[in-house]
Structure 1
Amino acid sequence: MRLAITHDTRYRYSPSVQTAQHVAHLQPANTPCQKVINHWMQVEPAATVQHNIDAFFNHRTYWSLTNPHEGLLVRAHSEVETIALPSANAIQSWESVREHFRYRAGHLGDVHSRFVFGSHHAPVDEAFLVYAQSSFTPGKSLMVAAQELTARMHHDFRYETASTDINTPALQALQDQRGVCQDFAHILLACLRSLGLPARYVSGYLLTQPPPGQARLVGSDASHAWASVYLPELASHACQGWLDLDPTNNRTGLASPGLDYVRLAIGRDFADVSPLRGVLQGGGAHTLEVAVTVTPRNEPASH
C-alpha cells in the first residue's frame, strides 16, 4: 500500500519570539515493513535545516531562527510504501525472555537492554505489574501474553480526546482507565518493563477511513502512537525481533500492526520522539494548530 502523509504544525506567538532553536522527528525511516518513496519539509520563517541520525537511528531535523517572528509553520510531506512481512510464531516464554535480559556480572548484555528500564513517561511500578500479571501467567509465550494484554487494554480503557495531556502521568491514566493513544502506549510500555521485558515507544501515522459516502478531509487525521516488545526468538526474522502492539485499536503485527500504519520514530517514550519541540527566547502566549492528512497515494482529499 502506498500512503501520502502531510503533517502541518503551526504556532502563533504574542508577543514575537526573538530567537528559537527547534528539533523535529518528522521523517519516516526505511524499515523491513516500509519504504520511503520521497520526503520533504518546509519551514517558515525560512531557515537552514540540518539533518542527522539520533541514538535510536531515527531521522532528526534541526534548525535555528535568529530573527524575531510572530509564528512558525512546519510542513512535512512523505510518501511511503508499506510492505507485508511473512508471518511467524514465537513460543518462547515471557519468563525466559525476562531472564535473558537480567543483568549478570561478567556476561555481555543485549543491545536491546536499554528498553527494559523505566523512563520518564513509562516508569516501572508495582501498579503496572499487578495490571499485567493476569495476562502473563507462568509458562505462557511472550507473543501470546503481549497480544492478550493489548486486547485487554483495548477492552478496559476508554479513548477520550483531550482527557489527558503530555504531563498526565501514566499511573494516573492507568487508574482512570482512559486517555488517548499516547497514554495507552505508555501504559503498555510500563506494564512490559515492570515485568522485566524490553519494550519501545513507536510514533507514526494510521490511515483512517471516512464515514461511508463521505470524502476524506484534509487535516482530519492525527499522529498516532503504539508500543512494541522484543522477541529474541525472532531476531533473525524480517521483523528483527519486534512485535508491534496497538492497544488503541487492538492491532498487533510483526514490525508493524498493519499495512495502514507508517512508522515515524522509535524511542523509550514520547520524550525521545516528539514530532517538534524547541527552545524559545521571548514570546508569551501562543496557539498551536496541528493538522495531519493520511491518504492512499492516488486518492484525492477534500478541503
Structure 2
Amino acid sequence: MRLHVTHETRYDYTPPVETAQHLAHLRPLVTPSQRLVSHRLRITPEPAQRSESPDLYGNTRAFFALESTHDELVVTAESVVETSVPRLAPSVARELPWEAVRERFRYRKGFSFDAASDFGFPSPYVPLHDNFAAYARASFAPGRPTFDVAMDLTLRMHRDFLYDAESTEINTPAVEALAQRKGVCQDFAHIMIACFRTMGLPARYVSGYLLTQPPLGQPRLIGADASHAWVQVYLPGVVGPGDWADFDPTNGRQPGEDYVTLALGRDYSDVSPMRGVLHGGARHTLHVGVTVQPAEELLTASSQSQSQSQSSS
C-alpha cells in the first residue's frame, strides 16, 4: 500500500519568540515492511540552521534553529511510504514460553548481550510498578508463548480501557491511566510496555500513523487524523537475534499495511514529534493536523482539480 502522510504543526506565540532551537522526529523509518518513497520537511520561518542525524535508536531527527523574532512557527512534514504487512523473521522462537524469554534477559556473567535488553528497564514515562504486574498476570499464564501473551494483553486492554481524549495529558503517569482505565493511545502503549517490563520482558514504544476510513459517502477530512502509538514486543530467536512484533492495544489488533512507522524508542520522551527550547514566547497555542490517505486518492483529487480548473478557463 502506498500512503501519503501530511503532518502539520503550528505554534502561535504571545509575545513573540526571540530565538529557538527545535528537534523533530517526523521522517518515517525504513523497515523490512516499509519503504520511504519521499520525504519533505518545510519550516516557516526559514531557519538559520538545520541538519539531520540518526539518534540512538536509528530514528532520523531534524535539528533547526531560528535566530530572528517570530510570532508563529509552522512545520509541515510530507511523506510518501510504501507499506506491507509486517512479517516476523523465520528464526523467531514463536513458541518459547514467556518465562524462558525472561530468563534470557537475566544478567549472567559471560552470557552474550542482547541489544533488546535496553528496552527492559524503566524509562521516564514507563516506571516499574506492582500495579502493572497485577493487571498483566491474567495474560501471563504459565508456559504461554510470549506472542500469545502479547496478543491476549492487547485484546484485554481493548476491552477494559475507554478511549477518552479528555481524561489524560501528555504528562499523566501511566499508573494513573491504568487506575482509571481510560486515556489515549499514548497511555495505552505506555501501560502495555510497563506490563511487559514489570514482568521482566523487553518492549518498546512506536510512534506513527494509522489510515482511517471516513464515514460511508463522506469525503476524507484534511487534517482531521492524529498521530498514533503502539507497542513492539521482543521475540528472541531460536539461535541468535530475534525480532520485534507489533501490537496495538488501542484498536485491539496487530498493525498491518495501514500503519506507518515513524520512530521507535523507550517511550514517548524519546520520539516526541516536536520539542524545543525557546527564548521569549511566554504563551503559545498549538495546532496539529495530520492527514493519512492512499496516494492514489491524492492523485485522483489532483486530476479532478486540474480538470475543473481547465473547464473553468
AA aligned to 1:264 is L
AA aligned to 1:263 is T
User: Per-residue CA shift, 1:39-87, capped at 9, x if unaligned?
Assistant: 0000011013200000000011001111111010000000000023456
Give secondary structure in 1 for the equivalent of 2:296.
coil
AA aligned to 1:78 is S
Whole-angstrom distance in 2 between the partners of 1:13 and 1:62:
20
Whole-angstrom distance in 2 between the partners of 1:236 and 1:26:
32
Look up the match of 1:34.
Answer: 34
AA aligned to 2:166 is A
Look up the match of 1:71.
Answer: 72
- Is 1:112 the counterpart of 2:113 in the alignment? no
AA aligned to 1:9 is T
Aligned residues: 296
Normalised by the size of structure 1, how large is the TM-score? 0.94
User: Per-residue CA shift, 1:94-151, capped at 9, x if unaligned?
Assistant: 0011000011133332111000001111111110001000110111100001100110
Is 1:22–1:276's contact at 8 Å kept on the other side of the alignment? yes
Whole-angstrom distance in 2 between the partners of 1:108 and 1:85:
27
Pairing 1:163-178 to 2, within 5 Å after superposition: 163-178=167-182
Q: C-alpha displacement at 1:298, in angstroms?
A: 1.5
Is 1:204–1:264's contact at 8 Å kept on the other side of the alignment? yes
Give secondary structure in 2 for the equivalent of 1:31.
coil
Q: C-alpha displacement at 1:9, in angstroms?
A: 0.1
- Is 1:146 the counterpart of 2:150 in the alignment? yes
Whole-angstrom distance in 1 between the partners of 2:129 and 2:167:
23
User: Per-residue CA shift, 1:175-212, capped at 9, x if unaligned?
Assistant: 00000000000000000000010000000000000000
Residue 251 (structure 2) aligned to one of 242, 249, 252: 249
- Is 1:180 the counterpart of 2:184 in the alignment? yes
Moved more, 82-91 or 92-101: 82-91
Is 1:204–1:225's contact at 8 Å kept on the other side of the alignment? yes
Give secondary structure in 1 for the equivalent of 2:128.
coil
- Superposed CA RMSD in Å reads 1.6
Moved more, 264-273 or 86-95: 86-95
Normalised by the size of structure 2, how large is the TM-score? 0.91
Whole-angstrom distance in 1 between the partners of 2:237 and 2:163:
33
Give secondary structure in 2 for the equivalent of 1:196.
coil
Whole-angstrom distance in 1 between the partners of 2:185 and 2:234:
20
Moved more, 33-42 or 104-113: 104-113
Query: For residues 227 and 99 of structure 1, do their structure 2 counterparts lie closer, same or farther at Cα, with a shift above 3 Å needed?
Result: same
AA aligned to 2:45 is P
Whole-angstrom distance in 1 between the partners of 2:172 and 2:151:
25
Whole-angstrom distance in 1 between the partners of 2:269 and 2:95:
33
Whole-angstrom distance in 2 between the partners of 1:227 and 1:261:
12
AA aligned to 1:136 is F
Look up the match of 2:310.
Answer: none
Is 1:10–1:290's contact at 8 Å kept on the other side of the alignment? yes
Give secondary structure in 1 for the equivalent of 2:136.
helix
Look up the match of 1:23.
Answer: 23
AA aligned to 1:199 is A
AA aligned to 2:20 is A
Which structure has the larger Rg over C-alpha atoms? 2
Is 2:120–2:201's contact at 8 Å kept on the other side of the alignment? yes
